[in-house]
Amino acid sequence: MPSQVVSNMRPLRVDLMTRVESRLDAFLATERARWAGVDSRAGVPVDAVTALVAAGGKRLRPAFCVTGFLGAGGDPDDPTIVDCAAGLELIHVAALIHDDVLDAAEFRRGSPAVHAKYTAEHAALGWRGEPRRYGDGVAILSGDLANVFAERLAHALSPGPRRIWGEMLTEIQVGQFLDMAVAAEGVIEPKLSRWIAVCKSGRYSIHRPLLLGAAIAGREDLAPAFEEYGEALGEAFQLRDDLIDAFGDSETAGKPVGLDLAQHKMTLLLAEAVQRDGRVRKLVSEPEWDTAALRERLIESKGDIENRIDVLVERAHRAIDRAPLGAAWRNELTKMAVEVAYRNR
């Protein structure tokens, strides 16, 4: 394909992503006006969702959905893809709000987490009841509302994409529960930890959005290639996320780091290290983890993890090289794999 055509692919995606952003803004503004008309308090959960959307983020899930759709030959003027991609971002926002409650994370995207903000407001104003329970309640309901909004945006999906959408939502919830349960029980099962990490993060970040985009465009034949690409890149994505949590800084990441080790989470990073290092296995077998010692051992295994990420990215590249896509979109997905796997936040 001529280089000029290749260079035109990204602007096409950027234009569609701009429409997704506009759809999110308009949808949330309409909801804010609607509920604020009932009572000023009724706008609080809408404001919480809106603030997190407005705070930025990578828009990774909408981007993969839109890319899968355009690569599959979808019509850029189809409103279904705009609504679906906007809905994916709201699902992500819901997951972030709920995650911060479960992890007791104080910050998200450079601002106080929803539960932390409303806990502090309750305490400052001297309201009745327990501040933390109020803050957690606002966050839980705000996250639930984001999921409801996402469902409304997905209402026009046909049966094929709707099935993928439903599987994705189920995987997020089941994966999140297992993540919590395994940490509480102190389970050391690397295979299960890998499944949890990929299920609750990698699949809904890359794999399912790609499949949704292709399915909306009517290209179910792309599913095998997108699944292979998404599974490999999803694992690389999660390993990078774990490395950022273990060794990154909060300012760059835009969220607290070090929480996974502090909360005894058997992350994908730890699962890989347990299989390679008997000392790591011994450390995570203790009732209370020595996080400093664990981090020191993990530093020694960083090279192995980076090599693993390289292998996964190469696997994703091979999968997309064989996909029945135009050269321009194969090139675009290859670039996206590198951006996702080697990010610093």
Question: Which tens digit of pLDDT belongs to each residue from 284-333?
Answer: 888 889 888 888 888 888 888 899 999 999 999 999 999 999 999 999 99
SS3 content of the chain, % helix, strand, coil (to 5): 80, 0, 20
The boundaries of the domain holding residue 307 are: 3-341
Question: Which tens digit of pLDDT belongs to each residue from 49-59?
Answer: 999 999 988 99
- How many structural domains is the chain composed of? 1
CA 208/CA 215 separation, integer angstroms:
10
Question: Which tens digit of pLDDT belongs to each residue from 116-127?
Answer: 999 999 999 999
For residue 264, the domain's CATH number is 1.10.600.10
R_g (Cα) of the chain, nearest Å: 21
Percentage of the chain exceeding pLDDT 90: 68
Question: Which tens digit of pLDDT belongs to each residue from 123-177?
Answer: 999 999 999 999 999 999 999 999 999 999 999 999 999 999 999 999 999 999 9
CA 174/CA 1 separation, integer angstroms:
43
Contact call for residues 316 and 64 (beta carbons, < 8 A): no
3-class SS of residue 108: strand
CA distances from 91 to 131, 140, 249 (A): 26, 13, 26
Say what the pLDDT of residue 8 is. 59
Query: Is it the case that residue 264 has pLDDT exceeding 90?
Result: no
Whether the predicted model's global pTM rises above the 0.85 cut: yes
Handedness of CA 16, 22, 28, 31 (dihedral sign): negative
